[in-house]
Amino acid sequence: MDESLAKPKQDDVEADIVNLSGGAIEHVEAEMVRITQGGAREITANEVGMRQGGAISVQAQVFDAKQSAALAVRADHVSVQESALGLVIADHVHSRRSRHLVTIADQVELADSSTVLLLAREVHGPVETVLDTRGAMLAGLVAGIAVGLVLFVGQLVSRRR
């Protein structure tokens, strides 16, 4: 690819307010970060807003995303719409038409959203889960028994040789 046509990639940015429209940043540390059609590897901020953006890791007090994706989000308040998140750890989560792999929160409000694993103290709204708290404990118990049996049989077979 011709380097003159490629968008420049910034390594680290530290500022009070960061507005990124297009392009990519490795690490952002700021009071407020706004990303539109861009991405960042790691974001640390008080407030993060993303529109059609992406991030691998986000740590913030407030995270607000629309039509965006993030692999791991740790925030006090998370509000997402039409987005996809991997791991979400928050005090309060509000999700509308979004998908999550794992959601861990005190209070969750979900509207037309789904999550594979949901661990929450309080849930509002209908939610589709593959594993809820009881299901996760049962899956862990079954997996532990299965691994224990495999190791036990492996020891029996190795002793006979």
Torsion of CA 21, 24, 28, 31, to 10 degrees: 10
Say what the pLDDT of residue 135 is.
79
For 59, 76, 78, the CA distances from 107, given in Å and listed in that order, are 18, 11, 10
The model scores a pTM over 0.85: no
Domain boundary assignment for the chain: 9-132
Q: What order do you get walking across the sheet with 54-66 strand by strand?
A: 9-21, 24-36, 39-51, 54-66, 69-81, 84-96, 99-111, 113-124, 127-131
Task: Report how far residue 90's alpha carbon sits from residue 39's, in angstroms, rounded to the nearest whole number.
Answer: 21
Structure tokens at 41: 């590897």
Task: Tell me if 27 sits within 8 A of 10, measured CB to CB.
Answer: no
pLDDT score recorded for residue 158: 81
* Residue 94 to residue 113: CA distance in whole angstroms: 10
* Residue 156 C-alpha from the chain's centroid: 42
Give the integer Cα–Cα distance in Å for 68 and 104.
19
Cα 103 from Cα 133, distance rounded (Å) = 11
pLDDT of 5: 31
Segment-wise mean pLDDT, segments of 10 residues, the chain, 161 residues: 36 71 87 92 94 95 97 97 96 95 94 88 81 79 92 84 66
Q: How many CB atoms lie within 10 A of CB 51?
A: 16
* Alpha helix (H) residue ranges in 27-125: none
71-89 b/e with 16+ CB inside 10 Å = b? ebbbbebbbbbbbbbbbbb
Model pLDDT, residue 80: 97
